[in-house]
Amino acid sequence: MIDFRSDTVTRPTQAMLQAMQNAKVGDDVFGDDPSINELQRVAAQMFGMEAALFCPSGTMTNQIAINVHTKPGDEVICEENSHVYLYEGGGIAKNSGCSVRLLKGQKGQITAQQVEEAIRADDQHFPKSRLVSLENTSNKGGGTCYSISALEEIKAVCEKHNLGFHLDGARLFNAMVQTGQNAKKYGELFDSISICLSKGLGCPVGSLLLGTNTFIYHARRTRKVFGGGMRQSGYLAAAGLYALENHIERLKIDHENAAILANSLRKCSLVETVIEPETNIVVAHVANSRAVDSILEILKSKGILAVRFGADSIRFVTHLDLSAQDIEQACRIIEGL
């Protein structure tokens, strides 16, 4: 099967497994795991932030961040299709007792003006606007990247109104590699950043939350409450350290493959339009919802897996486990449909 369902389907390479096998470990709840401590140090340093915290998933790093930034009754401002709102099981309400102010974005991105207009007046009737959460790249937007200037404008609004500024950077490395943006710049812009090791970077498990020492102190307490305190997790950290060293630059290959795939999808008679991919996500619009199901069936029968992406779209994601040959074969099949 040529599996385009997600960049989470990758399996660790031999070299990554070797690094995991050789990991020095300890009990991380006691703060004793040298590999975890090293991963957290390396990641924090990379972004020029004070501290980092390893967690089992990106959902957990996002939910912990929201929990630390807010109090029950506060309001979180985010895009209407953002992962923190749409794909985390209502966690903002369930875990943190917050309401959500949803903004309609362009390809998953919101503007400083929209944020400014969404901030509640200081009035006892209203929830208290407390946090802005952005997503880069945007999953539902089709792997789109924010410009630094757009982020700076939103940050200025957050500072003016004393709002926290969180980044769901599950695919931040895709954005940085594609645009040439700098990790330290992101560290300056945001109060907290979540990055996934288990997406394009090819680790089996893991995400990191970055922030100040005080923020991460509180995040560690919340992680324990959420059940995310792990013991000899250094085996997973070793995969993360390996990925940060070896799997960032190669994301360019995934982006090239996404562009090649998008071209083939445009030649496919069953596809109406294809959004020009910016990174490793390709979104193809088809005639209607029934067409989505039937095309996914046909693709599957020919050895290609993809997923439904809303009412009339299909998402393909390129990743580490898809070779040039896989892409070539998939393109041949897609063009012949």
Ligand X SMILES: *Cc1c(COP(=O)(O)O)cnc(C)c1O
Write out the residues near ligand X by the rule CB under 6 A: 57-59, 62, 83, 135, 139, 168, 170, 196, 198-199, 207
Interior CA angle at 57 toward 51 and 63, to 5°? 70
Q: How far is the CB of 108 from ligand X (least distance, A)?
A: 9
Min. distance of Cβ 80 from ligand X in angstroms? 14
Reported as type and span, the H/E element at residue 86 is: helix 83-86
The pairing of beta strand 192-196 with beta strand 207-211: antiparallel
Residue 124 Cβ vs ligand X, minimum distance, rounded to whole Å: 34
Q: How far is the CB of 28 from ligand X (least distance, A)?
A: 18
The residue (of 57 and 263) whose beta carbon lies closer to ligand X is 57
CB-closest chain residue to ligand X: 58
CB of 282 to ligand X, least distance (A): 15
Nearer to ligand X (CB atom), residue 211 or residue 331? 211
Among left, alpha and beta (phi > 0; psi -120 to 50; other), residue 206 is left
Torsion of CA 71, 209, 95, 76, to 10 degrees: 50
SS (H, E, C) 171-195: CHHHHHHHHCCCHHHHHHHCCEEEE
- Residue 104 Cβ vs ligand X, minimum distance, rounded to whole Å: 17
Q: Per DSSP, which regions of 115-224 are E strands?
A: 128-135, 164-169, 192-196, 207-211
If one counts every other C-beta atom within 10 angstroms of the C-beta of residue 331, the result is 19
| CA–CA distances in Å: residue 133 to residues 193, 224, 306 | 10, 23, 28
Residue 83 vs 155, nearer CB to ligand X: 83
Residue 84 or 268 with smaller CB distance to ligand X? 84
> Which C-beta is closer to ligand X: that of 35 or that of 139?
139
Closer residue to ligand X, CB minimum distance, 292 or 317:
317
Closest CA to 241 of 13, 56, 39, 40: 39
